[in-house]
Amino acid sequence: MPITLSTLNKIKQEGSKFTCLTAYDSTFSHLAGKAGVEVLLVGDSLGNVLQGHDSTVPVTLENMIYHTECVQRGNQGALIMSDLPFMAYATEQQALESSAALMRAGAHIVKLEGGEWLRSSVRLLSDRGVPVCVHLGLTPQSVNKMGGYKVQGRDPAEREALIADSIAAEEAGAAMLLYECIPSELMEVIMSKVSIPVIGIGAGPASDAQVLVLHDMLGATTRKPAKFVKNFMAEGDGSISGAIEAYVNAVKAGTFPGPEHGFE
């Protein structure tokens, strides 16, 4: 049976975990789905791992449409989530048009980065039948404003803003939330404040799901891995499929992420 938002909500209500992994083409989409990954993220991280950029900012909507179509062709029943890239949702009209393009390409839900300023766009998209995941914490599209890739939510004001933004996103109609690089303890607090499924990356073990970039979890990187990354190639049978299965099993068993993958 295909994975839907109802499936993910049921998993959450049961107190179980689900997995998310980036995918950018048909072959890896097929392998990830067969290995049990519930959510395939067509991430604008393709700017880093496929295109060789030092940020996600250069990625275009046309890039995202193309890779979403590729992932859709190989999909084995996973929920496909596609990123709206930098400046593709600066206005409500842009958000509608860009989201429609990604949904037509095969996405089941779109992901946007931002807090309070997104409220009206999230509500509009939700009202028009487009499920939305709001990405909070470290938002890579804002790396130039942030001054680098830094843990978010350590400062008391940032912490309260993240909690408020989380509640506001759900009230606006967001179907999911994703948090990147926030203190593990803050993730626990946020989990007590929201009722929709939550995905984490570098946010500790409390969330309903974890996500990693495919290339990172396979050890296929050209840079020093982030603290929250684990190379799963050594955990399986030495194959890509085995590594993905090991990742899925570790998330569902609660053994990944460990304390060493989180932030205080």
Catalytic residues: 180
CB 174 within 8 A of CB 132: yes
- Answer yes or no: are the C-beta atoms of 42 and 25 closer than 8 Å: no
Q: Are 142 and 150 in contact (CB under 8 A)?
A: no
Which burial class, exposed, middle or buried, applies to 37 when counting CB atoms under 10 A from its CB (0-12, 13-18, 19+)?
buried
- Asked if 105 contacts 65 with a C-beta cutoff of 8 angstroms, the reply is yes
Report which DSSP code applies to 91.
Answer: S
Identity of the amino acid at 210: Q
C-alpha 249/C-alpha 18 separation (Å) is 10
Two tokens, residue 183: 């203190």
User: Length of the chain, please?
Assistant: 264
- In sequence order, the 6+-apart residues with CB closer than 8 A to the CB of 80 are 39, 40, 42, 68, 71, 72, 106, 107, 108, 109
